[in-house]
A = this chain, B = another copy of it.
Amino acid sequence: MSVYDDLLAFQRETEALAQIAGRLGWDQETMMPRGAAAQRGEEMGAIEGVLHSRRVDPRIGGWLGAINGDTLDDVARANIRHISRSYERNSKVPADLAAEIARVTSVAQGVWAEARENEDFISFAPTLESVVALRQQEAQALANGGDMYDALLNDYEPGMTGARLGAMFDALRPRLVALRERVLGSGRGPAALNHDFDEAGQMAISAQLATTFGYDLDRGRIDKAVHPFSSGSGQDVRITTRTSPRDPFNCFYSTIHEVGHACYEQGINDAYLLTPLGAGVSMGVHESQSRIYENQMGRSRAFSGYLFGKMQDQFGDFGIGNPDQFYATVNRVQPGYIRTEADEIHYNLHVLMRFDLERALISGDLAVRDLPDAWNSRFLADFGVAVDRPSNGCLQDVHWSVGLFGYFPTYTLGNVYAGCLNKAMRAAVPDLDAGLAVGDTTAATAWLRDNLQTHGGLYEPREVVARACGFEPNEEPLLDYLDEKFGAIYGV
């Protein structure tokens, strides 16, 4: 095993350095003085350079070639699978192309932000064209003649294909559109919140919610940031949240969402610390955890009743009369422009749209200059509303400006996986709602930890979900859950 040990020791240092780079990103969003941006850019470039050269270090190829796979156990085989994949992926991309992508995307984010501010897509178009062209080049280098979009998708969801996602999303779309039409045509409109909620009170409830959902603050911490996120693996998994005076749900459900991500990382077998198995296995599986914590648990009738009481204790009467009305308010359906503010039904319609559009951009079927029209006509078809301005349309998300193509669909894949896991979990833990109603999530979170989170990168993404569920993941459980939940709330 000595060659394998050498490889793992080298990889362990790389994983440790990757944790440092990740924490530098956390620091940038939470702690960094605002005048330190230029220096921080050089620091990030330096550590990313170290990581890249380690990931393509020719010694890895030598070690991999010298290891006899027959002598390895399951854990070692999985480690080798991850290391090989990373080594091959990074070695395929010429260094000058990787550097050019890093350079252009770092500038592009600023161009995008200014274009969005100015409602001016045209000023962003040439930059986006460069980003698309560079990612196309990278995809060609990675795909070896195969599908270019799949090559990009595999960075976020190993083993998944655009065709498979496309089939799944084609099955989702008509039922989601039909459900939203039934809901919006129901004539029912739950009350929105109309009250001010002090920041300290929001943060106090937020911290309680994190603990309620099993987040271990001995191995994590909660800070505020402009955009909520989760960061890190192993013993140091940090989350951020934010507050908005009129919208405490933004704070509470951002926290529960990020706690889902963080609990996945914290739930991984300790033995995998700083190895390729010691982190969430894919974006889709990660999102399944954030979503099942946020939606299937956090927005359930049972848990929202508990939250209603918490909010009354903290804020007094805030204008919602009873737990059933509160449940409807938490799950209010509205056809808004913005993905990140969308309800559980519209959210997936947002993602499906982006998936089709970005596949067409990468394949070349859609030109960047035609993106606004394509976006706006698709939005009108799926949401029944005309986009009024670019910041409410194709300029709303940062993703494409920083080169993230193949990332969007993992959001809905995560919802699909969450639907499957929720079905299996509720079968395995029949009294789950009784716990949620009193703020006790332990039965649910323990089931998720023992059946999914603990495995880290041991199995392939789809496989780990299938093993936890006992059936092949598919879109039906999510659709059934949405139909039942929103059918009941809206009486349709």
**Chain A: residues with CB nearer than 8 A to chain B?**
12-14, 16-17, 19-20, 23-24, 27, 31-40, 42-43, 45-47, 49-50, 216-221, 234-236, 238, 273-274
Other-chain contact of A234, B39, B50, B221 (Cβ < 8 Å): B39
Tell me the minimal C-beta distance from A387 to chain B in angstroms.
Answer: 38
Q: Which residues of B contact A45 (CB under 8 A)?
A: 13, 16
CA distance A24 to B50 in the complex (A): 17
C-alpha gap A39/B35 in the complex (Å): 30
Q: Which residues of B contact A218 (CB under 8 A)?
A: 33-35
Measured CB to CB, the closest approach of chain B to A233, in angstroms, equals 9
- The contact of A19 among B17, B39, B234, B236, by CB within 8 Å, is B39
Q: Are A36 and B274 in contact (CB under 8 A)?
A: no
Which 6 A-B residue pairs are closest in the complex by CB-CB distance? Answer: A16-B46, A36-B236, A35-B218, A36-B235, A39-B235, A35-B219
Cβ of A33 and Cβ of B234 under 8 Å apart?
no
Task: Decide if B50 touches A236 in the complex (CB within 8 Å).
Answer: no
Residues of B within 8 A of A274 (CB): 39, 42
Is B13 a contact of A49 with CB atoms below 8 Å? yes
Given the interface pairs A42-B12, A235-B39, the reply to whether A33 lies near B221 with Cβ below 8 Å is yes
- CB-based nearest B residue for A237: B33
Determine how close the nearest CB of chain B comes to the CB of A262; give it in whole angstroms: 11
Please, how many angstroms separate the alpha-carbon atoms of A37 and B236 in the complex? 9
Q: Could you show 8 A-B contacts with beta carbons less than 8 Å apart?
A: A13-B42, A16-B43, A16-B45, A16-B46, A33-B217, A38-B273, A39-B235, A40-B235
Q: A13-B49, A33-B219, A35-B235 known; 9 other A-B pairs, CB under 8 Å?
A: A13-B45, A19-B43, A20-B47, A33-B220, A33-B236, A36-B236, A38-B273, A39-B234, A39-B274
A397 to chain B, nearest CB (A): 29
The distance in angstroms between the C-alpha atoms of A12 and B46, with both chains bound, is 9
Separation of A220 and B197 alpha carbons in the complex (Å): 32
Copy number of this protein in the oligomer? 2
List B contacts of A234 (CB < 8 A).
36, 39
Which residues of B lie under 8 Å from residue A236 when comparing CB positions?
32-33, 36, 39-40
- Contact check, B39 vs A273: say whether CB atoms are below 8 A apart: yes
Measured CB to CB, the nearest residue on chain B to A234 is B39
Residues of B within 8 A of A235 (CB): 33, 35-40
* Residues of chain B contacted by A34 (CB below 8 angstroms): 218
Contact B46–A13 (Cβ < 8 Å): yes
Partner of A23, one of B19, B27, B46, B220: B27
A430 to B435: give the CA distance in the assembly, Å: 74
Given B17, B35, B217, which contacts A46 in the complex, CB threshold below 8 Å? B17
**B19 contacts A20, C-beta separation under 8 Å:** no
Distance A179 CA – B438 CA, assembled complex (angstroms): 70
How near does chain B come to A415, taking the closest CB pair, in angstroms? Answer: 30
Q: What chain B residues lie within 8 Å of A273 (beta carbons)?
A: 38-39
Residues of chain B lying within 8 A (CB to CB) of residue A42 = 12-13, 16, 274
Q: Which residues of B contact A27 (CB under 8 A)?
A: 23, 27
- Measured in the bound complex, the distance between the Cα atoms of B314 and A203 in whole Å is 28
Measured between C-beta atoms, what is the minimum distance from A17 to chain B in Å? Answer: 5
B33 lies within 8 A of A24 (CB): no
Interface centre among A17, A33, A34 (most CB of B within 10 A): A33
Smallest Cβ distance from A462 to chain B, in angstroms?
29
Of the candidates A17, A34, A216, A220, the one having the most CB atoms from chain B within 10 angstroms of its own CB is A17
Smallest distance from the beta carbon of A52 to chain B beta carbons, Å? 12
Decide: B17 and A50 in contact? CB cutoff 8 A.
yes
A32 contacts which chain B residues (CB < 8 A)? 236
Q: How far is the CA of A234 from the CA of B40 in the complex (A)?
A: 10
When chains A and B are docked, how far (Å) is the Cα of A23 from the Cα of B218? 21
The reply to whether A20 and B43 form a contact with Cβ atoms under 8 Å apart is yes
With both chains docked as a complex, state the minimum distance between the C-beta of A72 and any C-beta of chain B, in angstroms: 23
Nearest chain B CB to A269 CB, angstrom units = 14
